[in-house]
Homo-oligomer: A and B are copies of this chain.
Amino acid sequence: MSDEFDHNDTHSDGLTEGDYSLQRRDIAAILYAVDANDQAKLIALMEPLHAADIADLLEQLNTYDRCRLVRLYDREFDGEILSELEEGLREEIIAILRPDVLADAVRDLESDDVVDLVEDLDEPQQEAILGALEDADRVAVEQALTYPETSAGRLMQREVVVAPEHWTVGEAIDFLRRAEELPEQFYHVVLVDPRMHPKGNVTLGKLMSSRRNTKLTEIVEDVFQVFPVLQDEADVAYAFNQYHLISAPVVDESNRLVGVITIDDAMTVLDEEHEEDILRLAGVGDEASLTDTIFEAAKGRALWLFVNLLTAILASLVIGVFAETINQMVALAVLMPIVASMGGNAGTQTMTVTVRALATRDLTAQNAMRVVLREVSVGAVNGVIFGCLMALVAAFWFGVPMLALVIALAMLGTQVAAALGGIVIPMALDRAGIDPALASGPFVTTVTDVVGFYAFLGLAAWVLM
Contact = CB atoms under 8 A, between A and B. Distances in A.
B4 A222 contact: yes
Nearest to A398: B320
A227 B9 CA distance: 8
A3 interface: yes
B349 A271 contact: no
A267 B263 contact: yes
The 5 closest A-B pairs by CB, nearest first: A282-B352, A14-B228, A204-B204, A333-B333, A274-B274
A376 B4 CA distance: 39
Interface stretch (A126-134, A136-144, A380-388): A380-388
A463 interface: no
A361 interface: yes
Contacts of A9: 224-226
A123 interface: no
Query: Which residue, A179, A316, A340, A390, has most C-beta atoms of chain B within 10 A?
Result: A316
A273 to B, nearest CB: 9
A87 interface: no
Nearest to A178: B209
Interface in A291-315: 294-295, 297-298, 301-302, 304-306, 308-309, 311-313, 315
Contacts of A224: 1-5, 9
A184 B244 CA distance: 13
Interface in A367-408: 367, 370-371, 374-375, 377-378, 381-382, 385-386, 389-390, 393
A426 to B, nearest CB: 12
A281 B278 contact: yes
Interface stretch (A32-40, A52-60, A93-101): A52-60
A125 interface: no
A179 B209 contact: yes
A438 to B, nearest CB: 14
A357 interface: yes
A86 to B, nearest CB: 8
A230 B13 CA distance: 8
A295 to B, nearest CB: 7
Nearest to A226: B9
B370 A62 contact: yes
Interface string A210-249: 0000000100111111111011101100011111101000
A67 interface: no
Interface in A307-354: 308-309, 311-313, 315-316, 319-320, 323, 326-327, 330-338, 340-342, 345-346, 348-349, 351-353
How many copies of the polypeptide does the oligomer hold?
2
A323 B330 contact: yes
Nearest to A59: B362
A2 B200 contact: yes
Given A20-B361, A182-B205, A185-B246, A326 B330 contact: yes
A342 B185 contact: no
A298 B277 CA distance: 24
19 contacts: A1-B199, A2-B222, A4-B223, A14-B226, A14-B230, A61-B367, A263-B267, A274-B274, A279-B353, A281-B281, A282-B351, A290-B367, A290-B374, A294-B378, A301-B382, A305-B386, A306-B386, A315-B337, A330-B333
Contacts of A235: 14-15, 17, 19
A60 B368 CA distance: 9
Interface in A15-29: 15, 17-21, 24, 27
Given A15-B231, A227-B14, A275-B356, A378 B281 contact: no
Nearest to A220: B1
A386 B284 CA distance: 16
A12 interface: yes
Contacts of A382: 298, 301-302, 305
A20 B277 CA distance: 20
Contact of A185 (B12, B203, B449): B203
Contact of A60 (B222, B340, B364): B364
Nearest to A295: B381
Given A224-B3, A267-B267, A330-B326, A342 B308 contact: yes
